[in-house]
């Protein structure tokens, strides 16, 4: 799962830079069950360093058990067979949590230059614990990898975005552990992002188009068994916070999750890949434009960065990339 190096953060960073290729994901490894410590940190302490928590999803492992590991359910006093019960289901995790966070004050100005950064804004400050292992893992995709996946080239944007993780990492080290593990990788896919444009008739107001498109989008993905795991109206958030965001008439980010797909990876031996979940799909309209621009990191980046080898997992990744593209084109999007 990891390169099995475990030492102080500073020493490991130097060693990994010399010995390996790019560092893709970083985990702080705490001894014992750190769930309560993590929850306190993410709910009460990250705001002090500028991060905003949106759409927290704690103990997803419990939802897996309820859906596929519970043979009978009781509804209104009547016990019946659970329709989704899977006799092959096994509990692999004690904890699995996705907590989407953004440093709005930093990210707002950066999105004005590089809108594709929405592919990891928000991003997941991931937490998990495997059954039978007395360790808790808390971490995130490396900011350099986020920038490389989203194709951000602007040197100033890259510098400021990377720097914004310094205080987050200090806090996580303080609360969870100074022991760090990295997942390193050799190369990203040739096309790490899926991008689309949706032309529309522009009238006096874009509100009608936005509302109609969002309704159709949510209905289409939910019909294909995806969960809208989060939604952040960046334009509204930035304007409300007094952060200059006047390049855009609209900008929002959906967090997407396919529950069975996620269980097939995170509960089947690769919970570390949850650092990439849920998928952030950004959508924006430049001021005065008649095109909705859409982008999302391909799930193929999971395979590349996390080194997924299991054929069932990699096949499911490929299938979802194709399915998401199909759904978007059926919604009138042109793939770029």
Nearest-CA neighbor of 225 among 260, 252, 265, 200? 260
Nearest-CA neighbor of 115 among 75, 154, 145, 58? 154
How far is the C-alpha of 20 from the C-alpha of 84, rounded, in Å? 43
Is 167 a member of any domain? yes
What pLDDT is stored for residue 81 in this prediction? Answer: 87
User: Do the bridges between strand 291-297 and strand 193-199 make them parallel or antiparallel, or are there none, so unpaired?
Assistant: antiparallel
Is 261 a member of any domain? yes
Burial pattern 81-105, b for ≥16 Cβ within 10 A else e, equals ebeeeeeebeebbbbbbbbbbbbbe
Backbone angles phi, psi at 224, to 5 degrees: -100, 20
Q: At what angle do helices 311-330 and 259-266 cross, to 10 degrees?
A: 160
Structure tokens at 74: 């009781």
Q: Using pLDDT thresholds of 50, 70 and 90, give the confidence band for residue 82.
A: confident
Is 251 a member of any domain? yes
DSSP state of 43: I
pLDDT at 1 over 70: no
**Residue 37 belongs to a domain with what CATH number?**
3.30.310.70
Is 1 a member of any domain? no
Residue 129 makes CB contacts below 8 A (sequence gap 6+) with 33, 34, 35, 93, 94, 95, 135, 136, 137
How far is the C-alpha of 320 from the C-alpha of 313, rounded, in Å? 11
pLDDT at 15 over 80: no
Please, are residues 270 and 1 in contact by the beta-carbon 8 Å criterion?
yes
Query: How many structural domains does the chain have?
Result: 1
pLDDT at 17 over 70: no
31, exposed or middle or buried, with CB in 10 Å at 0-12, 13-18, 19+?
exposed
Residue 137's domain comprises 7-335
Q: What average pLDDT does range 108-131 have in this prediction?
A: 97
Is 157 a member of any domain? yes
What pLDDT is stored for residue 271 in this prediction? Answer: 97
Element (H, E) at 81: strand 78-81
Is 132 a member of any domain? yes
| Span 31-47, pLDDT tens digits | 999 999 999 999 999 99
Is 321 a member of any domain? yes
| Span 208-238, pLDDT tens digits | 999 999 999 999 999 999 999 999 999 999 9
Higher-pLDDT residue of 13 and 160 is 160
Is 265 a member of any domain? yes
Structure tokens at 141: 């995709």
């Amino acid at each position: 799962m990891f390169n099995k190096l475990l030492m102080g953060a500073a020493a490991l960073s130097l060693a990994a830079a010399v010995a390996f290729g790019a560092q893709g994901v970083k985990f702080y490894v705490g001894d014992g069950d750190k769930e309560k410590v993590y929850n306190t940190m993410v709910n009460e302490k990250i705001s002090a360093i500028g991060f905003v928590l949106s759409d927290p999803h704690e103990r997803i492992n419990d939802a897996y058990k309820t859906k596929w590991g519970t043979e009978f359910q009781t509804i209104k006093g009547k016990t019946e067979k659970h329709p989704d019960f899977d006799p092959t289901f096994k509990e692999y995790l004690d904890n699995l949590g996705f907590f989407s966070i953004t440093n709005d004050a930093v990210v707002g100005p950066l999105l004005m230059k590089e809108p594709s950064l929405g592919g990891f804004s928000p991003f997941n400050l991931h937490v998990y614990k495997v059954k039978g292992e007395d360790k808790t893992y808390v971490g995130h995709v490396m900011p350099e990898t986020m920038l490389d996946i989203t194709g951000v080239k602007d040197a100033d944007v890259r510098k400021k975005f990377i720097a914004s993780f310094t205080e987050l990492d200090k806090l996580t080290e303080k609360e969870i552990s100074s022991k760090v593990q990295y997942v390193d990788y050799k190369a990203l896919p040739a096309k790490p992002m899926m991008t689309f444009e949706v032309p529309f008739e522009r009238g006096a107001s874009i509100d009608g188009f936005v509302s109609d498109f969002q309704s159709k989008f949510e209905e289409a993905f939910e019909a294909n068994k995806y969960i809208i795991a989060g939604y952040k109206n960046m334009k509204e958030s930035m304007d409300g916070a007094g952060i200059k965001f006047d390049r855009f008439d609209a900008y929002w980010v959906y967090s997407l999750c396919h529950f069975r797909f996620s269980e097939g990876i995170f509960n089947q031996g690769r919970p570390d890949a949850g650092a990439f979940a849920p998928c952030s799909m950004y959508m924006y309209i430049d001021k005065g434009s008649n095109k909705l621009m859409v982008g999302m990191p391909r799930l193929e980046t999971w395979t590349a960065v996390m080194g997924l080898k299991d054929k069932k997992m990699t096949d499911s990744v490929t299938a979802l990339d194709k399915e998401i593209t199909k759904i978007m084109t059926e919604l009138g999007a042109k793939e770029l």
